[in-house]
Amino acid sequence: MKNKRYTRFCGIDIAKNKHVACILNRDGEFIVRSQSFYNSAEGYQRILDRLKQACPWGRPLIGMEATGYYWYALRDFLVARGYEVAVMNPIQTHQQAKKGIRKSKTDKIDARHIATLIKNGEHRPALIPGNFAMTCRQLTRLRYRTVGNISRLKLLVWSRLGPVWPEYETLFGNSFCKTSRRLLLTAPTPDDVLAMDRDELAELVYKTSRGRYRPALADRIRESAAHTIGTRRGIEGARIGIRSLITQIEALMPLRRQLEADIEPLADRLPAYYFTLPGISRFTAVSLFGETDPITAFASGSKLVAFAGLDTNVFQTGQCTGEKLRRKITKRGSPFLRHTLWTMAHHACYQEGDLKDYWLRRKRQGLHHLAAVTATALKLCHVVWRILTDERDYLPQQAAGKD
C-alpha cells in the first residue's frame, strides 16, 4: 500500500565515510537521481540543502538502513531538524533488491530500493533506543564482548598448553584462577616448573592463594611436570604464547569488573516489574531493557521472538514428516537479546515456577537439555513482551497468554 502522507521519498544508502541519497515522487520517478555526501558537518549541510531544494513545498519521508553504527549521527541530525526518518533492517532492502531482474548492487541502486520501500509503505521500522536504553545497550554489549574475548583467550591458552602439558587441567579446580594464572606467567611449561626451586614454587602457590593451597600442591605440580607426556616440539613458542595470552587475560579481567560496577547502578533506574521476571538478575535486567526499549516497537510477542532470532524454521526433505522434521531457531536477530533471554531461561529452569515445569516437560518429550532451555527461552520471550507491554508484575499463577 502506497504511503499517501508524503509526496517525496528520500532513500539514503549508509556507509562509513560517504552516504548516497536519491529522491522519488509518488510515481517512483526520480526528483534527485543521486546525491553523495560525506559523513561530516559539511556533508550533512549539503544533503540538508538538497532536501530543501528538491522539496520546497514540504518535507520528504526519509529512509535509511540500520547499517552498523554509521546511521546514528545522521538519523539524529535529521530528526532534530524536523524530518521523519524510517530506519530499517538491511534485510528488508536485500529482499527489495531481489525483486529486480538484474542482480546488480551499487550505492545508487540501494538508495533507490530504500526510497521505493518507504514510498510503497512496505518498510518495517527498526528499534530506535532512547538515551538511557542506549547507555544500557552500550555497556552490556561491551561487557558481553569482553567476556567473549576472555573466553577466546582461554581457549587459545589451552591450544598452547595442552600439547606440552596435557595433565595441567587436573591440578586446579579452576585452571584460570589467580594462582594458576600467576604460575603460568612465571613457569608456563613443565621445563620452567622443574627449573624453579622447590621452596620458590611452594611460596608462589601459598602466597598467591593466600594460604588456600599448601606446599602439597606444589609437590603435585612438580610431579606432574616431571612425568608429563606432553611434547617438547615448539616448546619455546608455547612458552611465549602462554605468557602473552595470560597477560591479555590479566588486563581484561579488571576491565570486566569495572564494567560490571558501572552497570550495577543502572538497574536501580529500571521499573520494579522487570525484577519479577523469571530468571532475572540485575545485569540481565539492564541488558533486557537496553535491547527491547521501547517495547512498543513490537506489536506482538511473536515480533519480539523474531527480533531475538528465537523463531524456528523447518527443514523438510523427502519423506521426513512430523517428528522427523528438523526444527532449528533462525538466529536471524539480535544475538545480545537472544543471549540475555537464554541466560534468564537457564536460571529459571532451576527455580520453582511455570518455566521450570515447562522445561521439565520438554525434557520428558526427549529434547536435549540445551534444546529444552532454548524452547524455554522462546516461551519466556512471550512472557517478557506481555509483562513489559502491560507494565505489571509477573504472576506465575496467571499464565501469560501468547498472542
pLDDT tens digits along 203-230: 999 999 999 998 899 999 999 999 999 9
pLDDT in tens, 134-188: 999 999 999 999 999 999 999 999 999 999 999 999 999 999 999 999 999 999 9
| Mean pLDDT score across all residues of the chain | 89
Whether the Cβ atoms of residue 91 and residue 60 lie closer than 8 Å to each other: no
CATH of domain 8-120: 3.30.420.40
Give the pLDDT confidence score for residue 327 in this predicted structure.
66
User: What's the pLDDT at 401?
Assistant: 47
Buried b (16+ CB within 10 A) or exposed e, 29-59: eebbebbbbebeeebbebbeebbeebbeeeb
Of residues 327 and 249, the one with the higher pLDDT is 249
Tens of pLDDT, residues 70-81: 999 999 999 999
pLDDT band for position 237 (cuts 50, 70, 90) = very high
**Three-class SS state of 356:** helix
Least confident of 54-63, 89-98, 104-113: 89-98
> In 3-state terms, what secondary structure has residue 24?
strand
Please answer whether residues 363 and 288 qualify as being in contact, where contact means their C-beta atoms are separated by less than 8 angstroms: no
* CATH classification code of 134-262: 1.10.287.4070
pLDDT of res. 298: 93
Residue 399 — pLDDT band, cuts 50, 70, 90? very low
Residue 102 has pLDDT above 80, yes or no: no
> Taking 90 as the threshold, does the pLDDT of residue 98 lie above it?
no
* Higher per-residue pLDDT: 109 or 2: 109
Confidence class of residue 400 from pLDDT cuts 50, 70 and 90? very low
**pLDDT at residue 107, as a whole number:** 60
All CATH 1.10.287.4070 domain ranges of the chain, comma separated, are 134-262
Sequence-distant contacts of 283-288: CB under 8 A, at least 24 apart: 283/140, 283/143, 284/340, 284/343, 284/344, 286/136, 286/139, 286/140, 287/136, 287/137, 287/140, 287/144, 287/336, 287/337, 287/340, 288/337, 288/340, 288/341, 288/344, 288/384
Q: What's the pLDDT tens digit per position in 123-148?
A: 887 889 999 999 999 999 999 999 99
Residue range 295-302: mean pLDDT, rounded: 93
- Which pLDDT score is estimated for 352? 87
- Region label for 18, one of left (φ > 0), alpha (ψ between -120 and 50) or beta (otherwise): beta
**Higher per-residue confidence, 239 vs 311:** 239
Every domain range in the chain assigned CATH 3.30.420.40: 8-120
